[in-house]
Structure 1
Amino acid sequence: MTGPVLAVDQGTSGTKALVICPERGVLGAGFAEVRPRALPGGRVETDPAELYASVLDAGRRALAEAGEDVVAVGLANQGETVLAWDPATGRPLTQALVWQDRRAQSVCDELADSAEELRNLTGLPLDPYFAAPKMAWIRRHLTAEGVVTTSDAWLVHRLTGAFVTDAATAGRTQLLDLDRTRWSPRALDLYGLTAERLPEVVDNAGPVGTTTAFGPELPLTGLAVDQQAALLAHRITAPGGAKCTYGTGAFLLAHTGDTPRRGTSGLVSCVAWRLAGRTAYCLDGQVYTAASAVQWLTRLGVITGAADLDPVGGTVPDSGGVTFVPALAGLAAPWWRGDLRGSLTGLGLDTTPGHLVRALCEGIAAQVAELADAAEADLGSVPGRVRAPGAPLPALRVDGGLTRSALLVQTQADLLQRPVEVAELPDATALGAAALARLGTDPTLTPADVLPKAKPSAVYEPRISADEAAVRRDRFRRAVAALLDGSDG
């Protein structure tokens, strides 16, 4: 089946939709804002009605701009955002607990003795970032009615009536048996969720159902969690490459082949995608606050928005000794200390907004560099690799709205000490969803048949010496160590 497809990327702060033709590229685009609420006690939630409305609004805008019929729809989702809802009516029974929400820490504390067992079963560390702790918390504190699922299952049900989730999204719950890609009875028992009605785990490409929500009746044929969709869009379909998406958070993924890799460096092992019943796996590392940290600086009045990063940061040559650990929603991989908060040190009377902007860019880039180091360590022993254990990844492929900042991407290249390749189109998640939708319409196609063959829009090479990069990264590590030591005290 040929023709354009509609790709919908339902994200934390908004929904982006693209109409994509394999020959002519992007024909139409639509965006609708979502406004998650940060509340006391580490709570972050969103109105589910707003999520669904944003999907419809963005999709219809993209179709209107394209002015052409599409043959299928692909949907990407946030991954770990959870809600309870009535399967008979589709009505939400709770607010949606966003992936950044920390209220389920008490559930994790109670399961501390089972942390290693859960990690071996599911590939995931015990942390309220993932879906299962939130699901259990909802059952204990909000409602016993209906079903409790990740947001994708609810959106798909609203669109098509089906009750499914894809294998990659299921892998973000801590309820999926990583080796078998099916729900784990043991994990369900540990979380007290054995009696739950869970969605069917399906491949990432294939017919799910049809929807008339965007106007004409269209088949929904592609499903994915956002970061895995972006990994596919970067054409990283075999071990040896890594990508990082800079959105609300920053997420680094590295492909590990057809065997899950449970490393020792603090990264998550999870499903990349399952196609025609065959599962591919990846390592995943997270920085909880990237664009959300930029928004934080904006709310303080330091800048007026992300577009200010380069002009304001360009007013000074360096951070002036300021170090920013932007752990505004906790530290994720490889530390897994969601209880910590950020730090801003080295301030003086001569500190300017430019210094703060540069310190923020260095803080984000330093965290991503730590994730790249962890990926290299874990990838070293993946079967079939030709590079020596510990050898650096040849380059980092990047996408997301913040890659429009030359300052941030250059800082990333400097601290990584290797090239950073910027995607031609920053919306890699939508491109991945489109590729999966196309795969789902024709079982004879392969990923290579449906992936864009675009070259990077820019390649940033390191401009500082390895010694200078080591000094800057050491300064960041010492700031993180101070946070860790302070929490222990």
Structure 2
Amino acid sequence: MSQRIIAIDQSTSSTKALLFDDQCRLLARTNVDHQQYYPQTGWVEHDAEEIYRNMVEAIHQLVGDEAKTGQHTYSIAITNQRETAVVWNKTTGHPIANAVVWQDTRGIDCCNDLRQRGMTEMVMQRSGLLIDPNFSASGVKWLLDHIDGARQQAEAGLLLMGTIDTWLVWRLTQGKVFATDHTNASRTMLFNIHTMDWDDELLRLFNIPRTMMAEVRPCDACYGETTVEGIFTAPIKIAGVLGDSHGALVGQMCFNTGQGKVTYGTGSSVMVNIGENPLPAPQGLVTSVAFTALGRTFYGYEGNIYSTGATLKWMADQLQLVDHPAEMEAIATSVDNNGGVYIVPAFAGLGAPWWNSQVKGAVFGLTFAATKAHVVRAALESIAYQVKDLADVMAQATGGALTEICADGGPTRNAFLMQFQADMLRTPIVCTEVEDASALGAVVMNGFARQLWNSFDKVASLRKVTRTVLPHHTTEHDRLYGEWRKAVGQLCK
């Protein structure tokens, strides 16, 4: 009987279900979008119930009646948008409010207060993170402080909190398993990356009861069983859970110190494996648990960009300059340059290395000569500039220029963007066969959990490179980047 692994990739904009075999070959995929809610300026929410329903629907579309034939042995792996926090009542099973998305900035007052109280160093030392509303803690605190009765219910032990993986596992197992993995835990600002457990001092700092926190397991652990609302006649295993950026690092087979990747999604994550010692991060970066597998813990330097793919979606959905982001490459290359136009997409503030949640997005350099093509090109270029901002800091921290960047995500299909990115970084960009590297990383962890593989070397050989984009550096690229830095500098004064 053949093995089939269903990888759930629950992202900021949709839920994908991808079917892999036991050789990490992608067989099929489905995708179900979910609604984005923006109730106030700076607020970004998701309906956690909708996300669960969409996951079930995606799995049903993926396997259909084949799930009941007995031809294959199925299991589920999960990778997810990180930091987005759900708070729910463990008795009723219902969230007390919409999920607070990682892009949400309502926790900024809490974060500013902690910074003013001199807590930055303590939080960084324990969690590896900067104090910022991007991470889960301040959003959860806000819900407890502002939802009627929430604080009292939390103190009475009636409420649970978790990132999206925790919520999905809890629902899939009908409340039998309340657990998260080390990578998602390390992005909450409540987890101690040295003790590898929830930190009582950090929980007190945000006034979050420990009773709300899930059991923390390795990425390659088993997380219970499920029939997925009766899609399967007998329960199947949930095995392998990790955050999406960490999944991409694993999916790119970056098992060795110094290997790194860029994930181009709604936002973008630049992460490099720094080995088994949680080194302090240089300014503008954070230290997270990169992944835990085969009894070992690996850490990573990471920087997160809030708006990359989201910028392209904004161009299509809000400005309606294009019908679909896939059209942007042809439009961008219809002009020779950006015409002096620069877009700083600080829709939810600026992430690493700036960490300024209060600035707003802006367009610079508009003249009567500027056309739609210049604006579209500037949107694509903004992605490459933001990645370079991070890569330069990371290269300095790791002692030299990055030798290779592994890239994944939908925007890697944009040849103009990939070439411009390579030119900006002066570094080859390696694009792999599986665009959904996060899902592949979850599959790898699933295989470790179920002992399909027992070493990193065995799965590392499965990486298949589709193309390598070599840089074409000119002094013009230095000038363009200099103008970008000036634009960002005007916002961050």
Counterpart pick for 2:421 among 400, 412, 415: 412
Q: Distance in 1 between matches of 2:170 and 2:418?
A: 39
The DSSP-based 3-state class of the residue aligned with 1:438 is: helix
- The alpha carbon displacement at 1:234 in A equals 0.3
* Residue segments in structure 1 that go unaligned for 5+ positions in a row: 380-388
Greater CA drift, 21-30 or 130-139? 21-30
The answer to whether the 8 Å contact 1:265/1:377 transfers is no
The answer to whether the 8 Å contact 2:253/2:463 transfers is no
Greater CA drift, 320-329 or 169-178? 320-329
TM-score normalized by structure 2? 0.93
Question: Are residues 451 and 64 of structure 1, via their aligned partners in 2, closer, same or farther at CA, if it must alter by over 3 Å?
Answer: farther
- The alpha carbon displacement at 1:449 in A equals 2.7
Counterpart pick for 2:133 among 128, 135, 146: 128
2:156 corresponds to which residue?
Answer: none
- The alpha carbon displacement at 1:423 in A equals 1.9
Q: Distance in 2 between matches of 1:76 and 1:329?
A: 23
- The alpha carbon displacement at 1:118 in A equals 0.3
Q: Distance in 2 between matches of 1:288 and 1:347?
A: 24
TM-score normalized by structure 1? 0.93
2:238 corresponds to which residue?
Answer: 220
Counterpart pick for 1:482 among 478, 483, 490: 490
The answer to whether the 8 Å contact 2:81/2:164 transfers is yes
1:370 corresponds to which residue?
Answer: 389
Matching of residues 104-183 of structure 1 within 5 Å: 104-112=107-115, 113-142=118-147, 143-144=150-151, 145=153, 146-160=159-173, 161-183=176-198
1:60 partner amino acid: H
Q: Distance in 1 between matches of 2:39 and 2:423?
A: 36
2:314 corresponds to which residue?
Answer: 296
- The alpha carbon displacement at 1:413 in A equals 0.8
The DSSP-based 3-state class of the residue aligned with 2:221 is: strand
The answer to whether the 8 Å contact 1:233/1:431 transfers is yes
Question: Are residues 332 and 24 of structure 1, via their aligned partners in 2, closer, same or farther at CA, if it must alter by over 3 Å?
Answer: closer
Matching of residues 20-419 of structure 1 within 5 Å: 20-23=20-23, 25-64=25-64, 69-112=72-115, 113-142=118-147, 143-144=150-151, 145=153, 146-160=159-173, 161-213=176-228, 214-216=231-233, 217-298=235-316, 299-379=318-398, 389=399, 391-419=400-428
Q: Distance in 2 between matches of 1:444 and 1:20?
A: 15
1:386 corresponds to which residue?
Answer: none
1:52 partner amino acid: Y
- The alpha carbon displacement at 1:443 in A equals 8.0
The answer to whether the 8 Å contact 1:90/1:154 transfers is no
Give the number of equivalent residue pairs.
Answer: 474
Q: Distance in 1 between matches of 2:162 and 2:463?
A: 36
Question: Are residues 346 and 324 of structure 1, via their aligned partners in 2, closer, same or farther at CA, if it must alter by over 3 Å?
Answer: same
The answer to whether the 8 Å contact 1:31/1:57 transfers is no
- The alpha carbon displacement at 1:451 in A equals 4.8
The answer to whether the 8 Å contact 1:245/1:251 transfers is yes
The answer to whether the 8 Å contact 1:6/1:70 transfers is no
Q: Distance in 2 between matches of 1:415 and 1:123?
A: 28
Q: Deviations over 1:83-131 (max 9, x none)?
A: 2112234222211111101111111122112121101110000000001
The answer to whether the 8 Å contact 2:312/2:380 transfers is no
* Residue segments in structure 2 that go unaligned for 5+ positions in a row: 154-158
Q: Distance in 1 between matches of 2:298 and 2:65?
A: 35
Question: Are residues 48 and 28 of structure 1, via their aligned partners in 2, closer, same or farther at CA, if it must alter by over 3 Å?
Answer: same
The DSSP-based 3-state class of the residue aligned with 1:347 is: coil
Q: Distance in 1 between matches of 2:178 and 2:12?
A: 22
Greater CA drift, 432-441 or 64-73? 64-73
- The alpha carbon displacement at 1:446 in A equals 2.1
Q: Distance in 2 between matches of 1:22 and 1:66?
A: 17
1:371 partner amino acid: L
Give the RMSD, CA atoms, in angstroms. 1.7
Matching of residues 425-440 of structure 1 within 5 Å: 425-440=434-449
1:350 partner amino acid: A
Q: Distance in 1 between matches of 2:92 and 2:186?
A: 27
Q: Deviations over 1:453-484 (max 9, x none)?
A: 2332121112341x222111111111111111
Q: Distance in 2 between matches of 1:274 and 1:342?
A: 37
1:82 partner amino acid: A
